[in-house]
Amino acid sequence: MLPVGPLMVEHRLIEKMIPLILREVAGAGRFSKINLQFVDLAVDFIRTYADQCHHGKEEDILFRELSKKSLLPEHGRIMAELVEEHRLGRKIVGELVEAAAELKKGDGSSLVILIEKLTGIASFYPRHIEKEDKHFFLPVMDYFSPVEKEALLREESDFDRNFIHRLYKDKLSAAGKLIAAG
């Protein structure tokens, strides 16, 4: 399996969240209310799985190793675009979180922003995934030898294995800070 195989499998799971987001957006538009529990779940999915885990592997492993290669200008350009798109996705999710917090405080006008940001995420990810799947991941594998590809797969596997421990270590630290402040 190519090192991008697991990354493309992750794309398929991310793609399954998009119709759920769009369904919630459609309902929110019709009924002028939104399920904030769903919003929290969608934010957690996007932040944790799509960004920290999936984009983390891309940036910390694949892009790092590609930056050591003499890339064709097209591949270097696409990689830079992908990094910028990751930043944009984080920005949209941050704005989504802010709008949800305002709505929870009773600011009904933030519903429009919340719907806009959810719609933005739902349109962002399919285009981003298509760019990676069809125009980047497979062509850039030619820069790596079979031994390098195997090393990438091992590192991605190690990343996944350690990810849950890092995540919950951070949550434990945050819980401790809440208790100390409280």
Structure tokens at 72: 């064709």
pTM (whole model) above 0.85: yes
* Nearest of 167, 181, 172 to residue 48 by alpha carbon: 167
The more confidently predicted of residues 108 and 68 is 68
Can you give the pLDDT at residue 4? 66
Give me the domains of the chain, ranges plus CATH numbers: 4-181 (1.20.120.520)
Q: Which residue type does 64 have? A: R
Q: Summarize pLDDT for 115-149 with one digit per residue, the tens.
A: 999 999 999 999 999 999 999 999 999 999 999 99
In this prediction, residue 19 carries a pLDDT of: 96
